[in-house]
Amino acid sequence: MRVRVGATTAHVAEDASVLDAVRAAGISLPTLCHDDRLTPAGSCRACLVRAGGKVVAACVTPAAEDAPIEVDADDLRGLRREAVEVIVSVLPPRALDDEHGRSELAGVCHDLGVAPDTARGAGGRGRDDSHPYVRLDRDLCIACGRCVRMCAEVQGTFALTLVGRGSDTVVAPGTGGPWAESECVACGGCVDTCPTGALTEPGLSGGDRTPELPGTRTTCGYCGVGCSLDVLTGGDSVTAVLPARDGPVNRGHACVKGRFAHGFLRSPDRLTRPLLRRDGRLEPVSWEEALDHVARELRAAVAAGGPGAVAAISSARATNEENYLLQKFMRTVIGTNSVDNCSRLCHAPSAAGLTAAFGLPGGTDPFEDVESADCLLLVGANPVEAHPVVGARLLQRVLRGARLVVADPRAVGLARHADVHLRPRPGTNVALFHAMAHVMLAEGLIDEEFLRERSAGLPELTALLAGYSPERTAAVTGVPAADVVAAARLFGLAERPAILYGLGVTEHLHGTDGVRALSNLAILRGAVGTGRGFGVNPLRGQNNVQGASDMGALPDLLPGYGKVTDADARLRAERVWGVLVPPRPGLRIPEMFAAARSGELRALWILGEDVCATDPDSNQVVQALESCPLVICDELFLSETARRADVVLPAASWLEKDGTFVNFDRRFQRVRAALAPPGAARPDFEIIHAVAAALGADLGCATPAEALTECGRIAPVFAGLSHERLDREGAVPWPCRHPDRPGESSLYRERFATPDGLAHLSAAPYLPPGEEPDDRYPLVLVTGRRWAHYNSGGMTRRTDNLLLDPTDRLDVHPVDASRHRLGDGDRVTVRSRHGEAHLTVQVSDDMTPGQVFCAFHFPASGVNALTSDRGDAATSCPEYKVTAVRLLAGERAGQAR
C-alpha cells in the first residue's frame, strides 16, 4: 500500500506498521523498546508520531493509506524527548557516559537532544555477575522488555521476566535467584538486544553492538546449522562473536557454543609446535624435522605394504578445501582410496538411505521452508540441545500453531511441546515407521496420484505393511497403538508436513533401513519433491560433515559423489589430476582399525578426530593405534588420540583459517580467518601441502579458492561455485551446476535423481538391534548430546562452558535409581559387554524405566569403552544408541548440579 509520510510516499506491505512506513520513507525515528526480530511493545514512547491526526507509538500502530504520518513536527519531537527523559532520569550518570558512543540509548539521547546530565538516578540496585557469559547491571535496566521477548520469541526458553514496580522494574530470571542457576541457555539473545548495557557479555562493553562494528564475517565451526557470525578481535584474541542479522540460516540468533565458546583458542593447552615421539615420549620439534619423519615413514609404509598400507581419516571440522586436498593427496600421491570422515559415525546412513530413496545424499529442502509447514515430525533428534538455533525456530513454529509429533525415547527438548510424543524402545524405529505407514495406507492418508506417477515400490511395501499393524508393533516398540494412530493422522492429514531427524534414526544396526522407512512416510504423503511440505531432512551434525563427504573424503566416492568403481567418474578426476585413480574402494574407519590391529595398516593420518574418545569400543581403537607403526595426528590439543600418535601436527582452528563449509541444508558458506593461528600452528590446508611436498609431490591448487574451483571441474554438482561467488552472494546451495545460475535448494521438483527418476519406497522389514538387555546387562544405555558441550569436549571443556556443565552425568529414571539405591550425585560404574565407564548419577523423569542416558563429552569417563563395534549393515555406522549395561554403585560424590 501507499502511505504518505511527511512530504513523501512510502510503499509498504499491507500489514506494515507506522514505523515500517516511516523507515521505508527513509526518515529516521528513534526507538528503544523495538527490535525487528520481536513483537513490538509500544512501551518506551520514543517513537511517537502523528498518524491520521492522532499521536501514536509508531511501532505498534498499523499503517493505513488514509492516515498520513507526521514525524517532524516540533511538538512530536518534544513528546519523544520528554518520554526518553523520563526513562533516563532514573538512571545513574554512567548510563550515558558511553565511552564508545555506541550504546543504543546514548545514540537515541543524542538524536533527541536529551542532555547527558539528565541521568541523575542514585543507582544501587546491584549487579548479577554469577553467569560466565551474561552480566546484569540492574541500574541500567529500563524495563523495555526486549530481553524478555528475545528469550521467549526467538530463543523460546522463557527464562526471563520483569519484576518490581514502576521505575524499579528490572529484568530477572523467572526462577528467582542468580542468573547462573536460571534456565538461561546462554544464546546471547538478551545481551544482543539490550539497548542500554544493562545486559552485557565479558569482552564487550555496554550496548556495544551496532551493525557497523568492524568484524570478520565467518561461519560457525561447531554444529551443522551454519550460523553466520561476525567475529570481533582485539590484539591476538577474540573479544566477541556476534550473530549476523543477515545470516541466511540464523537471522541474528546463535547459541552458547558459536556465540561464547571461543575461549579454547587461547587455552594454554593449544598445540603450538609439532611433536615427535622419541623413546616413547612426544617432544617438540621443528616443522622440518616433523615433515622429514612423516615423509620417511610414509615411504617405508608404502614400500612394505603398498599404497593400501596407508589410510587417512579426514575431518568434518575442517574446511571443504582441506577435505578435498586430503582425499586428493591419498588418491594421487599415496594411490589409495582409504580416506573416510566422521560421517561414518553419524549420518552415513542418511547419505545411503536418501540416495537410495531420492537420488542425492542430502536433505531435500531449504530450512526456511519449515516456516510454512503445518506439521513437524521430529524423529531421534534433540535440536534444542544439539542444533539450538534450529530447535528455537521449530519451537516458534509450534507455538504459532504447527502440530508436532516427536519420536524419541526420552522426554527432552521439543518432546515437551509435542501433540504426540512417541517413545519407542531404542532400536525399534523401523517397526514404528512401518506402523505409521500401515495406518496411513489403511486410512487412505496417502497421495495416490504422486504414488502412481512419481514413486516405485508401493506393491512390495503394501504387502510388507500388512504385518505392521500398530497393535502388533506395540509389542516391539513399546509405543501404544493409539499414539501411532494419532501420529499417523496428524502427519497424514497435514497439508505441508515436514520430517526432520537425527542420530536417533541413523546410529543403529539398521540405521539405513530407518532412514528409508522414514522416507517412506514422506513419499506416501507426496510430501517430497512437490513443494507440499518440507520433505525429509537430516539435522546433520558437524559444521562440515556434509562438505567432508561432498568433497570425496570417502573410500568409495570421489568429489561430487562419483563412484570410484565407475570408470567415467574416475576419468573426470583423472583428467584434472593427471594420474590414475585406484578403482577399488578403500577402507572405512572401522576397517582401518581392524587392518591396523591385524598388521596390514602401517600408517594412519588422522585430521581432527579424537577417535580414542569418540569412536565406539574405544579399547579396541586404542589397540589399533598402538599396533599401527605410524600414526600422524593434526590437532588443536593433545587429545586422547594425539597423545597416542607418533607425530602430532599443530593445526589452526576454524577461527584461524580460510575456506568454506557446507551446512545441514547443503549451503556452501565462507569461512574466514579472524586471527592468526598460535605459534607454529598451521591450517590443515598448508599441512597437507607440506606433507605432499616432503614426499616430492605438488598437489597444485595453492589456495583454498583454487581448490574449490578445481573440485568443481571434477564434480558437476559444484561446477557453479567459487569463493568469489560466495563472497558476493553469501550462501549458495548445491547442486549448483553453473556460475550464472542459482543453486538448487528445493530438490526433485520435476524428477527424482534416481536412475529411473522415481522416489523409491523401501520394503525392508524391521530387524532387532544388535544389543539386547539380559539378566547380566538389564538396562539399555542411549548416548547422545548435552547443550553446553561438543562431541569429545576437547574445545568446550576448555571454555567457560565448563562452568555451565561441569560433570559427566548418567540420567537414570527414579524407578531404576531406587532399585539400585542410587541418588543424585552418586558415583556409579557402568559396565557393558565391552568395557566400563564412571559417571555421576542424575535421577531424571525424562527417562523411560529400563533405559539410561549419557553424553560422551568427557573422555575421562570412558563412555565409548561401553559402546560396541557393531555397525549399520549398509554403512558401518556404529550402534551408539543401544548398549546393554548394568550399574554398580560407586563411591558417593558431591551433590550433582
Helix (H) or strand (E) holding 276: strand 275-278
Pairing of strands 339-340, 310-313: parallel
The piece of 60-68, 136-144, 632-640, 759-767 that touches ligand MGD (CB under 6 A) is 632-640
Q: Which of residues 69-98 bind ligand MGD (CB under 6 A)?
A: none
Pairing of strands 310-313, 603-607: parallel
Which residues lie across from 340 on neighbouring strands? 313
Question: Nearest approach, Cβ of 657 to ligand MGD (angstroms)?
Answer: 7
Q: Toward ligand MGD, which CB reaches closer, 538 or 555?
A: 538
Report what 639 binds from Mo ion, ligand MGD, none; CB cut-off 5-8 Å by kind.
Answer: ligand MGD
Residue nearest to ligand MGD (CB): 541
Q: Toward ligand MGD, which CB reaches closer, 230 or 340?
A: 340
The piece of 103-111, 123-131, 326-334, 784-792 that touches ligand MGD (CB under 6 A) is 784-792
- Helical residues (DSSP H) of 142-262, grouped into ranges: 146-149, 189-193, 256-260
Q: Toward Mo ion, which CB reaches closer, 103 or 343?
A: 343
Which residues lie across from 312 on neighbouring strands? 339, 605
For position 346 contacting ligand MGD by CB under 6 A, the verdict is: yes
Q: Toward Mo ion, which CB reaches closer, 366 or 541?
A: 541
Q: Which of residues 309-348 bind Mo ion (CB under 5 A)?
A: 346
Site string for ligand MGD, 392-431 (x = CB under 6 A): ---------------xxxx-x-----------x-xx-x--
What backbone torsions phi and psi does residue 252 show, to the nearest 5 degrees?
A: 85, 10
Question: Nearest approach, Cβ of 545 to Mo ion (angstroms)?
Answer: 6
CA distances from 148 to 16, 156, 422, 555, 868 (A): 23, 10, 32, 50, 45
Indicate the residue type of 874.
A
**CA 691: distance to chain centroid?**
31
DSSP 17: B
Q: Which of residues 572-631 bind ligand MGD (CB under 6 A)?
A: 607-610, 614
Question: Nearest approach, Cβ of 367 to Mo ion (angstroms)?
Answer: 18
Question: Nearest approach, Cβ of 770 to ligand MGD (angstroms)?
Answer: 12
Residue nearest to Mo ion (CB): 541
Q: Toward ligand MGD, which CB reaches closer, 5 or 795?
A: 795
Question: Nearest approach, Cβ of 507 to Mo ion (angstroms)?
Answer: 9
Indicate the residue type of 621.
V
Tally: H helices and E strands in the chain = 28, 36
Residue 724 in contact with residue 733, Cβ under 8 Å?
Answer: no
Q: What is the 3-state secondary structure (H, E, C) of 263-286?
A: HHHHCCCCCCCCEEEECCEEEECC
Q: Which of residues 816-875 bind ligand MGD (CB under 6 A)?
A: 856, 863-864, 867
Q: Which of residues 532-551 bind Mo ion (CB under 5 A)?
A: 541
Residue 251 region by backbone torsions, left for phi larger than 0, else alpha for psi between -120 and 50, else beta? left
For position 608 contacting Mo ion by CB under 5 A, the verdict is: no
Q: How far is residue 724's CA from residue 732's CA, in Å, rounded to a whole number?
A: 12
Site string for ligand MGD, 494-513 (x = CB under 6 A): --------xxx--x------
What backbone torsions phi and psi does residue 569 show, to the nearest 5 degrees?
A: -65, -45
Task: Count the residues in the chain.
Answer: 897
Q: Toward Mo ion, which CB reaches closer, 533 or 538?
A: 538
Report what 787 binds from Mo ion, ligand MGD, none; CB cut-off 5-8 Å by kind.
Answer: ligand MGD
Q: How far is residue 263's CA from residue 169's CA, in Å, rounded to a whole number?
A: 34
* Cis geometry, peptide bond prior to residue 735 (ω within 30 degrees of 0): yes
Q: How far is residue 153's CA from residue 158's CA, in Å, rounded to a whole number?
A: 8
Helix (H) or strand (E) holding 504: helix 503-506
Report what 315 binds from ligand MGD, Mo ion, none; CB cut-off 5-8 Å by kind.
Answer: ligand MGD
Q: Toward ligand MGD, which CB reaches closer, 63 or 431?
A: 431
Residues at the contact surface with ligand MGD, assessed by CB under 6 A: 223, 315, 317-318, 342, 345-346, 379-383, 385-387, 407-410, 412, 424, 426-427, 429, 502-504, 507, 539, 541-542, 607-610, 614, 634-637, 639, 651, 653-654, 684, 782-785, 787, 789-792, 794-795, 856, 863-864, 867, 880-881
Residues that bind Mo ion (CB under 5 A): 346, 541
